[in-house]
Chain A
Amino acid sequence: MSLFSFAKVLKPDSDAKLLSAYASGDVAAFNTLYTRHKDGLFNFVVRSLPQPAAAEEITQDVWIAVIDQAGQFTPGTATFRTWLYRIGRNKVADFYRRKVNQANDELDTTNEQFVATQLSAEDQVLLNQLLEALAQLPEEQRVAFVLQQEGFSYSEIAEITGVGNETVKSRLRYARSATQDRMELNV
């Protein structure tokens, strides 16, 4: 193995490079990209929705959009991860808009089908309470909170959600406060 190949193994290809390779017809590059981000995106979508049952469909829509628009991604303007989550946030917003029109739909706040069983019963209860409290948050606050838990900075969240940094901080502050209050109320 040459020194170049060894360095290539140590430093994985950037997301933008993988997407560019896929745009050139390299399906393996897309597989790598998908494997790298699929769980994070799925987490984000599930936590952002009041109805986790719709998460699969929305996640699938997001990736289909990535496939369709792979040639239009410009690395200089945003990172691939920010771009991906921005698509995801737009799909979640679309879902909320549809939900407003479907006023009779009951909210399904049960997350049991997605929650792993490694937690103790007590932790599971707490987690369910947290998720229920999150589900009651307004969409903007919930999305901001989940994005922060996914590791995004304030500026990245602002870029994804299309608002300013101070707005993001404000939403996060309200989200934490409201979630805390609801959880204490349910104790």
Chain B
Amino acid sequence: MSELEQQYRQAPKLKSPPRIDNTILQAAQAAANTAAVAPQVVSTADTNRSGARRKKAARWWQPGVAFASICAVGVGLGIALKSGMLQPSAPASIDYELADNSSAATQTAADTASEVALVIENDTFLLEQPVAELFEQTSEQMNTDADSQADELFVETPADEELTTELASDSSIELALIEQESQDYPSVASVEVAETSVAKNGLPESLPAAEVRSTVAGISATRSSVSADTIDATLEDSDALGNNRDESFSAQQAKVDVAESESVIVPLDDLQAQIADENTASAEQGIASTAASAERQKNSRLAKRSSALTVAPEPPAEVASGLTPAVVADPVIDSAAEEGVAVNLWLLQQDSDNYTVQIAQSETEAVLTALAKTIPLPTEVVGFEQDYTRWLLLHGSYPLQHLAEDALQTLRQVFSKNGVSVSDLNARVVRIGDIQLAP
């Protein structure tokens, strides 16, 4: 268990206020007395449970009793009929009614019989005649339809007939195929190209494909032979040119070789004097180049320094985006601090709309010195600024105020963990543009 939880559990258990107790208990009592909804639910459940038991019992004894009753009645009736105790007879009132209505009943029965006979005759007519005919007609129709559909499926189209005819002729197979393709696919490039070639060469347009192809092949062969001749001629020319160049090069080379063999003979005194002159000249040139190099380095340092003083580097991307309230330790500060302008320079490099954390110098000098050893802060700024302004710039540049406040909170926590009273930390979040620069 953590210290926090122990501390929490040391807290006294809170007591529910008596006025709540009274209110709730009264409400419970009222609910139980008046509405009695809950007891009804339970009594309903009890009723359901007992009803279920009764239904469960009824499932087995009710059919049994009914069956036994029916059997008993049946057996009793059978015995009574067999023993002659019961004689089936119509009641007198029924006989009387039948006697009175006998004529009407007879007439009605005759009418009904004729109607029934008529209906039967009609039904017979409707049933016997049409069904047989309909069956035959339907079967015939179905066969006819099937045959016609099959004929339609397997009948040859005119195009197929043409194709078959063309296929039978061996001499014009390819032409027929090409024509068929051109009819089906008018944009086939091969056919158009073949016709165009034929027309341009002055040949009849109706030339068979075999001839067209042989003509094209001939043209290609002509082109290839011409190209080959041209190439051969060109090669011969190039060989001739190459031979000429080789000859001229050889002559020049021979002249150079003769000249070099002549220049080897030099007097020793002249050579020593020449070497001494060359050494002197190179020494002078070396001194001059060293001086120039030193001048270049000096200029480079000056340029670098001036750029460091004037050009403000962009803040890191994560700080600029405001996602990470990290401490901004700028490497420019190191070199600039030597020049004595660290804080002013750092401020100038920052966006004046950004925020930073400042800590008062006089109150926190010792604290800051200790703090700088424990956490990664831009200590150069801290150590330098205290000679110039009342406030020490301590903590980074943040594009949003709450990020700087978070940094300040972190700072307070670090102070607290390092045994520094928070009251010693006279810190604040300020807008960089509001900071007064050191003189």
Residues of A within 8 A of B (CB): 20, 22-27, 30-31, 34, 38-39, 41-43, 46, 56, 59-60, 63-64, 67-68, 70-71, 114-116, 118-119, 123, 126-127, 130-131, 148-149, 176, 179-181, 183-185, 187
- B146 proximal to A (CB < 8 A): no
A130 touches which of B7, B29, B38, B41 (Cβ 8 Å): B7
CA distance A38 to B25 in the complex (A): 11
* B28 and A25 contact, CB distance less than 8 A: no
* A60 and B23 contact, CB distance less than 8 A: yes
A126 touches which of B7, B31, B37 (Cβ 8 Å): B7
CA distance A116 to B170 in the complex (A): 118
Contact residues in B for A23 (Cβ distance below 8 Å): 38-39, 41-42
Contact residues in A for B7 (Cβ distance below 8 Å): 126-127, 130
* A27 and B36 contact, CB distance less than 8 A: no
Contacts A130-B4, A149-B9 aside, 8 further interface pairs with beta carbons under 8 A come to A24-B38, A27-B28, A27-B32, A42-B14, A68-B31, A71-B42, A119-B12, A148-B5
* B24 and A185 contact, CB distance less than 8 A: no
Contact residues in B for A119 (Cβ distance below 8 Å): 10-12
* A22 and B38 contact, CB distance less than 8 A: yes
Q: Can you report 5 residue pairs joining A to B where beta carbons are below 8 Å apart?
A: A22-B32, A25-B39, A60-B23, A63-B28, A67-B28
* A25 and B38 contact, CB distance less than 8 A: yes
* A180 and B4 contact, CB distance less than 8 A: yes
From B21, which residue of chain A is reached at the shortest CB distance? A38
Contact residues in A for B9 (Cβ distance below 8 Å): 149
Contact residues of B between 1 and 46, Cβ < 8 Å to A: 2, 4-5, 7-17, 19-21, 23-25, 27-29, 31-32, 36-39, 41-42
From A134, which residue of chain B is reached at the shortest CB distance? B8
Known: A63-B24, A130-B4. Contact between A114 and B14, CB under 8 A? yes
From B19, which residue of chain A is reached at the shortest CB distance? A56
* A187 and B416 contact, CB distance less than 8 A: yes
Chain B 112-126, CB-CB to A under 8 Å as 1, else 0, gives 000000000000000
From A128, which residue of chain B is reached at the shortest CB distance? B11
Contact residues of B between 393 and 439, Cβ < 8 Å to A: 409, 412-413, 416-417, 422
* B15 and A34 contact, CB distance less than 8 A: no
Contact residues in A for B12 (Cβ distance below 8 Å): 115-116, 118-119
A149 touches which of B8, B16, B25, B38 (Cβ 8 Å): B8
- A24 CB to nearest chain B CB (Å): 5
A23, A56, A59 interface centre (most CB from chain B within 10 Å): A23
Known: A126-B7, A130-B7. Contact between A71 and B28, CB under 8 A? no
* B8 and A31 contact, CB distance less than 8 A: no
* B24 and A25 contact, CB distance less than 8 A: no
Known: A39-B14, A149-B5. Contact between A70 and B25, CB under 8 A? no
Contact residues in A for B23 (Cβ distance below 8 Å): 60
B11 touches which of A34, A41, A127 (Cβ 8 Å): A127
Task: Return the 7 tightest CB-CB contacts between A and B, nearest first.
Answer: A116-B12, A23-B38, A25-B39, A71-B41, A42-B16, A63-B24, A38-B16
Contact residues in A for B11 (Cβ distance below 8 Å): 115, 119, 127, 130-131
B24 touches which of A64, A176, A180 (Cβ 8 Å): A64
- A30 CB to nearest chain B CB (Å): 5
* A185 and B416 contact, CB distance less than 8 A: yes
From A127, which residue of chain B is reached at the shortest CB distance? B11
B32, B37, B39, B422 interface centre (most CB from chain A within 10 Å): B32
B28 touches which of A20, A22, A42, A148 (Cβ 8 Å): A22
CA distance A103 to B32 in the complex (A): 40
Contact residues in B for A185 (Cβ distance below 8 Å): 409, 412-413, 416, 422
* A42 and B416 contact, CB distance less than 8 A: no
A123 touches which of B5, B10, B25, B409 (Cβ 8 Å): B10
B38 touches which of A63, A71, A179 (Cβ 8 Å): A71
CA distance A56 to B24 in the complex (A): 11
Contact residues in A for B422 (Cβ distance below 8 Å): 185, 187
CA distance A60 to B19 in the complex (A): 10
From B8, which residue of chain A is reached at the shortest CB distance? A149
CA distance A116 to B24 in the complex (A): 23
Contact residues in B for A187 (Cβ distance below 8 Å): 416, 422
A46, A59, A63 interface centre (most CB from chain B within 10 Å): A63
From A23, which residue of chain B is reached at the shortest CB distance? B38
CA distance A90 to B24 in the complex (A): 19
* B413 and A60 contact, CB distance less than 8 A: no
* B10 and A34 contact, CB distance less than 8 A: no
* B13 and A30 contact, CB distance less than 8 A: no
* B27 and A59 contact, CB distance less than 8 A: no
* B25 and A34 contact, CB distance less than 8 A: yes
* A60 and B24 contact, CB distance less than 8 A: yes
CA distance A27 to B32 in the complex (A): 7
* B417 and A56 contact, CB distance less than 8 A: no
- B404 CB to nearest chain A CB (Å): 17
CA distance A20 to B43 in the complex (A): 12
* A34 and B21 contact, CB distance less than 8 A: yes
CA distance A26 to B38 in the complex (A): 10
Known: A23-B41, A25-B38. Contact between A31 and B25, CB under 8 A? yes
Contact residues in B for A56 (Cβ distance below 8 Å): 17, 19-20
